[in-house]
Amino acid sequence: MTRDEVEIVLIAAAWTAGAGAVGLVASRLIARRSLRWLLALVALVAVGGVVAGVIGTANAMFLSGHDRQVVLLVCLVAGLVAVFFALVVGASVVRGSRTLREDARRFGETGEYAASPAGPAEFQALSTELARTSAKLKESRGREQALEHSRRELVAWVSHDLRSPLAGLRAMTEALEDGMAEDPARYHRQMRSEVDRMVRMVDDLFELSRIHAGVLQVSLQNVDLGDIVSEAIAGADPVARAAGVRLGGSVEPGATVTADPAGLTRVVANLVTNAIRHTPPDGVVSITGRVVDEAVELSVSDACGGIPDDDLGRVFDVAWRGTSARTPEVDQQHGTGAGLGLAIVKGIVEAHHGVVQVRNESPGCRFLVRLPV
């Protein structure tokens, strides 16, 4: 490079840097304006830099007055074209952003986002992201609605289930009060059993609400599965005898699990109660426990004759029960009949990071609980 060329580069650099600095200040001033003006400014600064470089080098006598005139004229035309071009491009960018804003506004109003894949890559990415958010929102809205629906159903059913025994109790107390009861002792027994059932139902509801609120406390201990199962069999034996159901079971020796003993007892008791209730006289209910890779598996099988396929997916739902009539005909030993037992089982099992499933297996069905050891 000759000395002259070095000098030209330095002069041009200094003058164009000046134009750049002015452009920077101007860009700050219009930073909040439309993108269109920013693009026009970029074109202006580019041409302005050339103009500044030409003026600087002409002042240093590297260009004749005539040459300078010609170059400046060319720059003026180029500048006008560049700014026009920038404005056209800017308008299309602004259009793209306006479409996106309109789509987002509609999203806010309707909760649905219809992606229109147009405009620059960044806008498209934003639009795709919004579409994904919209899908997620829709999903969670659906879940919330289902939850709200089941909550409303639960309140309706439970209030119905509480109202009928309460009406019975009122009738019995009135009869006792008026001295119309023929066998007061029987009335007292019946009242006691109704009250017990309602107390258990309220307990179940309380347990369920704790499960749903996620505040179920499990105090984990090393539990011998055999103990839990023999306790459950001993507890349910009188009920099974009364129903004429043969109750038995076996647990692999040494099968232990880290679990909350009270919770696990409740799980087994609820499953066994259901199994006895749905098994005809002379049928068999059996409870087995075994260890399978890193988990214990507890199964309760009965002779219920199978659960209809359509209902298999619903048995664990809160307040769902098989019979369409929602009048509890359940006696003392057979739970409350409110359809809460299996929902509680599922809640407790899941609080232990386990899974519970049901499948039909002749002559009845089998409930399988799998808990990590």
C-beta of 279: minimal distance to ligand ATP in Å?
A: 8
Distances, alpha carbon 8 to alpha carbons 56, 57, 70, in Å: 9, 6, 19
Per the DSSP assignment, residues forming a β-bridge with 292 are: 295
Query: Out of 289, 341, 347, 364, which residue is the one contacting Mg ion (CB under 5 A)?
Result: 341
Q: Which is nearer to ligand ATP, 56 or 339 (CB)?
A: 339
Give the closest residue to 285 by CA, choosing from 322, 251, 237, 320: 237
β strands within 50-174, DSSP E: none
Q: Which is nearer to ligand ATP, 216 or 275 (CB)?
A: 275
The 171-210 contact track toward ligand ATP, x by CB under 6 A, reads ---------------------------------x------
**Residue 302 contact among Mg ion, ligand ATP, none, beta carbon within 5 to 8 Å by kind:** ligand ATP
How many chain residues bind ligand ATP (CB under 6 A)?
A: 21
Give the closest residue to 198 by CA, choosing from 321, 328, 347, 346: 328
Contacts to Mg ion from residues 191-220, by CB under 5 A: none
CB contact at 8 A, 283 and 303 = yes
Per the DSSP assignment, residues forming a β-bridge with 366 are: 301, 359
What is the torsion angle, in degrees rounded to the nearest 10, for the CA atoms of residue 261, residue 262, residue 266 and residue 268? 20
Query: Out of 342, 348, 349, 356, which residue is the one contacting ligand ATP (CB under 6 A)?
Result: 342
Give the closest residue to 328 by CA, choosing from 289, 279, 277: 277
- Work out whether 245 is an interface residue with ligand ATP (CB under 6 A): no
Query: Out of 41, 336, 347, 348, which residue is the one contacting ligand ATP (CB under 6 A)?
Result: 336
Contact stretch for ligand ATP (CB under 6 A) within 77-85, 157-165, 330-338, 347-355: 330-338
Strands 246-251 and 284-292: parallel
- Work out whether 289 is an interface residue with Mg ion (CB under 5 A): no
Query: Out of 16, 57, 127, 274, which residue is the one contacting Mg ion (CB under 5 A)?
Result: 274
**33 DSSP 8-state letter:** S
Q: Which is nearer to Mg ion, 55 or 315 (CB)?
A: 315
C-beta of 289: minimal distance to ligand ATP in Å?
A: 17
Query: Out of 107, 302, 348, 356, which residue is the one contacting ligand ATP (CB under 6 A)?
Result: 302
Query: Out of 48, 335, 347, 354, which residue is the one contacting Mg ion (CB under 5 A)?
Result: 335
CB contact at 8 A, 220 and 258 = yes
CB contact at 8 A, 274 and 334 = no
C-beta of 319: minimal distance to ligand ATP in Å?
A: 8
Spatial neighbors of 9 by CB under 8 A, at least 6 apart, are: 1
Distance CA 311, CA 291 (A): 29
Spatial neighbors of 315 by CB under 8 A, at least 6 apart, are: 307, 322, 342, 358
CB contact at 8 A, 277 and 284 = no
- Work out whether 275 is an interface residue with ligand ATP (CB under 6 A): yes
Q: Which is nearer to ligand ATP, 133 or 323 (CB)?
A: 323
- Work out whether 338 is an interface residue with ligand ATP (CB under 6 A): yes
Residues that bind Mg ion (CB under 5 A): 274, 335, 341
Residues that bind ligand ATP (CB under 6 A): 204, 274-275, 278, 302, 304, 307, 315, 320-322, 335-343, 365
